[in-house]
Amino acid sequence: MTAVMGEAPEFEFDACWRLHPMVALRPEPFGALLYHFGTRKLSFLKNQTVVDLVRALPNHPDARAAFQAAGIDSSAARPYVNALSALVRSNMLVRASADSDSQS
């Protein structure tokens, strides 16, 4: 699926994802903070499983494999997909093959 100009990208299971190169992840007692140095957006991750998924995504060929490695089956995936979709829409997560200059 290709995004139309001006359309927000969508999280896809069959894509490989990573943090945008301008995003820093800082562990916190409640989960983690994500800060995008380009957009100055701040995101709070209050679920340790989401934090673990965000860290693990670039280490797998696609998101489906990352979910499987985390022990999340398709029946329990919806809340995590929603959280990762929000990170994609806010440009915190980008496709691993994406040119970081075009994603900033």
Length of the chain: 104
Give the mean model confidence (pLDDT) for residues 80-95. Answer: 95
* Cβ atoms 70, 49 nearer than 8 A: yes
**pLDDT at position 48, please?**
95
φ, ψ for residue 62, nearest 5 deg? -160, 170
What digits encode the pLDDT tens for the residues 38-79? 999 999 999 999 999 999 999 999 999 999 999 999 899 999
pLDDT at 21: 97
Q: How much is the pLDDT for 7?
A: 53
SS3 content of the chain, % helix, strand, coil (to 5): 35, 20, 40
Q: Between 104 and 71, whose confidence is greater?
A: 71
pTM: 0.83
Residue 8: predicted pLDDT: 55
Give me the pLDDT at residue 97, please.
77
Q: Would you state the structure tokens that stand for residue 62, as one six-digit string?
A: 């696609």
CA dihedral sign, ordered 18, 23, 27, 33: negative
